Amino acid sequence: MEKEQTNLEQAIKNTVEENLKAETDNSLSEKNIKTEKNSNNQNNNIRKNVKQQKKYPLTQQNKKVDPKNFVWFKDLNKAFDENEKIHQSRLTCFNKIDSNAKGWVKFTPLGGLDEIGGNCAVLETENSAIIIDCGMSFPNEDMHGVDILIPDFSYLREIRHKIKGLIITHGHEDHIGAVPYLFKEMQFPIYGTSLPLAMIENKFKEHKLLQYRSYFRSVKKRTPIQIGDFKIEWIHMTHSIIDASSLAIQTPIGTIIHTGDFKIDHTPIDGYAPDLHRLAYYGEKGVLALFSDSTNSYKPGVTPSESVVGKTFEDLFMKTKGRVIMSTFSSNIHRVYQAIATGIKFGRKVCIIGRSMEQNLNVAMDLGYIKLPRDIFIDPYEIGKYQDEEILIITTGSQGESMSALYRMAIDEHRHVKIKEGDQIIISAKAIPGNEPTVSQLINFLMKKGAKVAYQDFSEIHVSGHASQEEQKLMLRLTKPKYFFPVHGEYNHLMKHRETALSVGTPEENIFIMEDGEQWEITPKRVRKVKNVPTGKIYIDNQINEQIENDVVIDRQKLANEGIIMIVAQVDKKNKKLIARPRVTTYGIIADKDDKAFAKEMEDLLINYIDHAKDYVYEKNRIFENELRNVIRKHVFRKTKKYPTIVPVVYFM
């Protein structure tokens, strides 16, 4: 009984403790909920205060105060507005141009648009005109027997009376290659820096035009000169040739910048970086229009420096135990210089092979553009006197030209050098669009001879001389033109350059895409296309330096595509019958094994024609031949679906 009483008391005690604990827990829970609620309210108040502080940073006696009423805020706001105006002003410096200036300038591209090469353009006012460059381009594969193409000079003949000079930006063939052909028709002063003029002089020697050297006008960079209505300054620019220039052309209505071919190379071989300061100077004064190189419009980033090629040369020379034969463009003097300097470093004698390569290197050395010891050079006939590891040959032929020195070496037709196993060939150039098949064929020939060929194995065996997208942007930012005209490139290159200009804020309505022959009139207030002038290409046989007439090239194309049939026959005019079997010759129509059968077919056709010919066709040989030509043409087309050239020769007896 006593034990049960004790258990009951213990149970009551436990129950009381549990209830007290539960009440305590509930109290704490309610307190936590309240605390959490208060905390949330406090956080909400903080957020509300932060928002209010953003709108009203200061408070005074719990009253909201607008900061615009404070002097310090007004000063900041004023400074912000002034800086905004400064930004707008510096980005639109073209507004400094007198918009009320009277007159116009017209720009007419005669070559270089919708193509790579053949650069030539005319800039004119009412009384004066200048030609900017006069270059050549390469023919298509169906232009048989054509070596180069030059612009059509018809419009230049039309305005010849007001042309004040030819302005040269640099010495590449696609900018000076057509100058001798222009000077055979008309002459006026040629303005340029020393190297381009010296290269033109070499061309004049070939064309027997040395009497026109008196028209050369050597210019100094950063020194504007007056030429007709234009004041022109040559601005130093980096490219894949020495002594390239951009042009600042001051006209009666504003300044025009023409970049020529360019890239922004901060570490050029000669140390002469592009004169960006001068471009910026004109940009600050106000540029009416910019004409800028579009060749590399698809390449992002920046174009590598010419100096990176030297490291690749060193790596190749170090691994080569035999002869090194390097080919590049003959005008790329700094590339040639780097190869020679590397050759000297590895104890090699240097042999220059290729007339244009030798001429350009001599000119550069004579004028002081590069400095090399003369005793490291040897003549081609001396190559055999040295070990293979002592020889470096610099030559032309990087484009696979059939008459070039490297090509003739590859097919064993060169007098002094034949490619052999162990030779290291370096083709330090990129194939010009359209030349890819010929370059590939050249590489095949070289490899079949056992030579090792370095072409595209190394990313830095060749670097472009043209600006990539970031450099194009820099040019636009430096010059800040009102109007922008992409030039130098195919149509898709121009359109891509247009996109780049849009990305840096050039208004869409101020960008103009041109085509060869279109004439554009520029004023401070507007730009418009006014007309089309005659344009096109003139075919040149470079072996004899003479023009090939259009109909000759068309005939060659037709012969290559359709073939030829020649028929010689004797006809008894009185009795209207064939005297003997005709002589039938074909080329490009049928296989040789079918010649006899085809000749019999033509004989039967001729007999049938004679039997049914009307009397008037016997009046003259020409009438008879023309009618016979039509009959044969129809017959051959039904059989071959071709329209060959048909040459009937009929003798009446």
Break the chain into its structural domains and give their ranges.
2-69, 105-302+464-541, 308-454, 563-652
Task: Determine the Cα–Cα distance for residues 138 and 140; give it in Å rounded to an integer.
Answer: 7
Q: How far is CA 122 from CA 111, 131, 162, in A?
A: 10, 5, 11
Task: Classify residue 543 by its DSSP letter.
Answer: T
Q: What's the pLDDT score for residue 36?
A: 47
State how beta strands 129-134 and 527-532 pair.
Answer: unpaired
Task: Determine the Cα–Cα distance for residues 329 and 364; give it in Å rounded to an integer.
Answer: 14
For residues 284-309, average pLDDT: 96
For residues 168-196, average pLDDT: 96
Span 308-454 CATH architecture: 3-Layer(aba) Sandwich (3.40)
Residue 215: how many other CB atoms lie within 10 Å: 17
Q: Is the pLDDT of residue 59 over 70?
A: no
Q: Which CATH number fits domain 105-302+464-541: 3.60.15.10, 3.40.1530.20, 3.90.800.10, 3.40.640.10?
A: 3.60.15.10
Span 377-419, pLDDT tens digits: 999 999 999 999 999 999 999 988 888 999 999 999 999 999 9
Q: Is the pLDDT of residue 558 over 90?
A: no
**The domain over range 563-652 is classified in CATH as 3.10.20.580:** yes
Q: What's the pLDDT score for residue 50?
A: 44
**Cβ-contact 379, 415 below 8 angstroms:** no
pLDDT higher at 206 or 572: 206
Q: What pTM was estimated for this model as a whole?
A: 0.82
- The SS3 of residue 46 is helix
Percent of the chain whose predicted confidence (pLDDT) is above 90:
63
Task: Determine the Cα–Cα distance for residues 463 and 329; give it in Å rounded to an integer.
Answer: 12
Q: Based on the number of CB atoms within 10 Å of its own CB, is 229 exposed (0-12), middle (13-18) or buried (19 or more)?
A: buried
- The SS3 of residue 416 is coil
First to last CA, the chain: 167
Task: Determine the Cα–Cα distance for residues 294 and 297; give it in Å rounded to an integer.
Answer: 5
Q: Is the pLDDT of residue 55 over 50?
A: no
DSSP structure string for 59-94: EETTEEE-GGGSHHHHHHHHHHHHHHHHHHHHHTGG
